[in-house]
Amino acid sequence: MKIVILAEKPSQAKAYADSFKSKQKIEGGFLIKDALFEDEVAITYGYGHLVELQAPESYKPEWKKWSLNELPMFPESYQFKVAKDKRAQFRIVKRLLDEADEIIVATDSDREGENIARSIIKVSGNEHKPTKRLWINSLENDEIRKGFESLRPGEDYFSSYIEAQTRQISDWLIGMNISRLYTLLLQQKGLSGVFSIGRVQTPTLYLIWQRQQEIENFEPQTYFEAYIHVNAAQGTYVGKYKDTFKTLPELIDFFKGFDVIHQQEQAARIAKVETKEKKEYAPRLYSLSDIQSQANKLYKVSPATTLKIVQTLYEKKLVSYPRTDCHYITPAEYAYLKKILKAIVSVPVWKLKTHKTMQQNVMLMLQKFRNITLLSQPKKYPLPLP
């Protein structure tokens, strides 16, 4: 029996191949040998989406011309084609899938990854073959091997494929129909060019326009803030009141309520001291949108650039799977990180390049690590410090 492992991209396929006992490079993939498999195993890959939805004129010749009379366009069934610039790789993938007795879907562990793999398998004519699913969130060798040791039934994830494909078709319907509608109507008003309408891009553009309108129509208003300058034996301190005041008399009346004269130095006394113990938990792990927002705030980096950076870090095995809205790690990831961090701390100081600084940072990470909540077991795991 021949098994084919279908990865999403070349770097992912290489990470899989590196985790097995032996590998041999072949055109468009690898041949591997390992105790995990009794039979011949090949790894191949796509370049993301190897296949895409057909253009409107592929369904009806009259849909090639942009005309209001032909709208809306609703194909009876939706057909896919191989992307023009990816035909060479598709031929390789199809040949390997044709020879396979079983297919292991090993694309990214999300809906889009499922859609990419299933679409390739369907267009290649191999959707009737049995499938298994590799579902991991790390490209570390140990995690990859554990994933292949516990492959899941492929049919368990078929609904994710249908969900992602439904989104893909809805994008096609909105883009192809509404873009033509708006373009033709605006051309009747004397405008030229093509006006692209999208399920995501158009609402986003509207939000940007709304914000720009708020900026352009903003009317500055004068307000007052209350500050107090304190001189004490231990030093000086400037305090700021949390609220603002619309007028100066309103601010002065506020000071009078505390027997304080505006802009006049006075003796003060501490009326009350409260001491409370507060517990601050470690911040949640980043989701993709969180890290994109933070990177933009701190460094003015675009979301697309941030995604590209974290994706590269993931492929270099430095971060967990980035394309997620989840703030938690799995028990397996927790155990792996715990093992690595404890190993770092146990290294003698003289062997560390940064000596005390590195150990202190790791100790701080361990302290924060106590508060990480696991995805499947929502409780804290005590981690004894060395």
**Which residues are annotated as catalytic?**
321
State the Cα torsion 93-96-102-105 to the nearest 10°. -20
Tokens, residue 273: 């001291």
Q: Supply the DSSP symbol for 55.
A: P
Measured distance CA(355)–CA(367) in Å, rounded: 19
- The CA-atom distances, in angstroms, between 217 and each of 210, 211, 212 are 11, 10, 9
The string of DSSP letters for 235-294 reads EEEEEEEEEEESSHHHHHHHHHTTT--TT-----------------PPPPPPPHHHHHHH
Cα–Cα–Cα angle for 362, 364, 369, nearest 5°?
90
State the Cα torsion 82-87-90-96 to the nearest 10°. 130
Measured distance CA(73)–CA(60) in Å, rounded: 9
CB half-sphere exposure, 208, CA atoms < 13 A? 6
What are the E-state strand segments in the chain?
Answer: 3-7, 22-26, 29-33, 41-45, 51-53, 80-82, 102-105, 131-133, 152-153, 224-232, 235-245
Decide if 150 contacts 172 (C-beta within 8 A): no
Please, what sign has the CA dihedral across residues 329, 332, 338, 340?
A: negative
Tokens, residue 192: 């030229």
Decide if 92 contacts 44 (C-beta within 8 A): yes
Measured distance CA(323)–CA(110) in Å, rounded: 8
Please, what sign has the CA dihedral across residues 341, 344, 345, 346?
A: positive
